[in-house]
């Protein structure tokens, strides 16, 4: 049953807008007028809006029960929260911490694409020595794509038995300054010291995409294994 209040307000307006008509109302008509005014002011025994409010509350309660019976979407059922994500840090100290954290990868293996003028060389030899010593200590295996080889004695001491090294195609050399690490399901981008940031993308899809490109470069790169005696 629709709310009658709008109609009542219209009737009230018409009565007071026509005083001569109101003056002719006598007897039971006067009583009806008084009842009408009581309804408008909310003092009457009948309140049309009460039933509507009750029905609304009943529908709301019924709706809540129905919502509780609706099964969750398939995507909400036990979906892992760490399926993908990313992190970003700035500053030399934060960058070093992020790089050292790669040595705790679950797979125990890292693939690296490293330009000659990279963050490791730019911050000084001590950090490189610390990273390599920890990598060897933890027996982390690596594949490395470089622009040019290091001295044979350095390569033997720091990469023999754990690492494979190839020289990337000439077309790539000298064209980028960001080091790329691939491990587990993450890809880390280490900028130059000047740019000063590390970006980590944790995503299986992104990892597979970059790994496909890495494998393509690896297949067309020059082996330098003979330099590691």
CA distance 166 to 225: 8
Q: CB-based contacts of 191: which residues, under 8 Å, 6+ apart?
A: 119, 177, 178, 197, 198, 199
CA nearest to 204, candidates 80, 83, 81: 83
The radius of gyration of the chain from alpha carbons, rounded to an integer in Å, stands at: 39
CA distance 211 to 16: 84
pLDDT value of position 160: 73
Q: Transcribe 156-176 into DSSP letters.
A: HHHHTTTEEEEEPPGGGTTS-
User: Token pair of 226, please?
Assistant: 């003979």
Start-to-end C-alpha separation, the chain: 94
Q: In terms of DSSP H, where are the helices of the chain?
A: 5-17, 19-23, 28-41, 48-69, 92-101, 119-123, 125-137, 152-159, 204-219
pLDDT value of position 92: 97
pLDDT value of position 6: 46
pLDDT value of position 149: 77
CA 210 to chain centre: 20
pLDDT value of position 194: 96
CA 101 to chain centre: 21
User: How distant, in Å, are the alpha carbons of 57, 103, 111, 145 from that of 107?
Assistant: 58, 10, 11, 19
Given strand 186-190, what is the order of strands in its sheet?
Answer: 84-90, 197-203, 186-190, 179-183, 109-114, 141-146, 163-167, 222-223
Domains of the chain: 5-69 (no CATH), 85-227 (3.30.870.10)
* Mean pLDDT of successive 10-residue stretches along the chain, which has 229 residues: 46 42 48 58 51 60 52 44 82 97 97 95 93 93 88 69 89 93 98 97 97 96 67
């Amino acid at each position: 049953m629709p709310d009658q209040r709008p109609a009542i307000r219209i009737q009230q307006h018409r009565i007071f807008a026509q005083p001569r008509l109101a003056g002719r109302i006598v007897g039971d008509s006067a009583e009806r007028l008084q009842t009408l005014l009581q309804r408008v002011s909310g003092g009457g025994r009948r309140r049309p809006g009460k039933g509507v409010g009750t029905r609304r509350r009943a529908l709301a309660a019924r709706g809540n029960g129905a919502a509780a019976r609706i099964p969750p979407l398939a995507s909400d059922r036990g979906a892992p929260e760490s399926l993908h994500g990313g992190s970003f840090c700035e500053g030399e100290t934060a960058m070093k911490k992020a790089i050292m954290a790669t040595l705790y990868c679950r797979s125990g293996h890292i693939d690296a694409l490293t330009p000659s003028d990279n963050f490791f060389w730019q911050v000084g030899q001590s950090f490189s020595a610390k990273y390599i010593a920890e990598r060897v200590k933890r027996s982390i295996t690596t594949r490395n794509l470089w622009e040019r080889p290091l001295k044979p004695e350095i390569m033997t001491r720091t990469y023999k038995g754990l690492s494979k090294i190839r020289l990337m195609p000439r077309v790539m050399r000298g064209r980028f300054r960001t080091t790329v690490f691939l491990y587990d399901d993450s890809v880390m981008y280490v900028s130059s010291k000047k740019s000063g940031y590390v970006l980590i993308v944790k995503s299986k899809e992104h990892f597979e995409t970059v790994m496909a490109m890495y494998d393509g470069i690896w297949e067309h790169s020059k082996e330098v294994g003979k330099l590691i005696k």
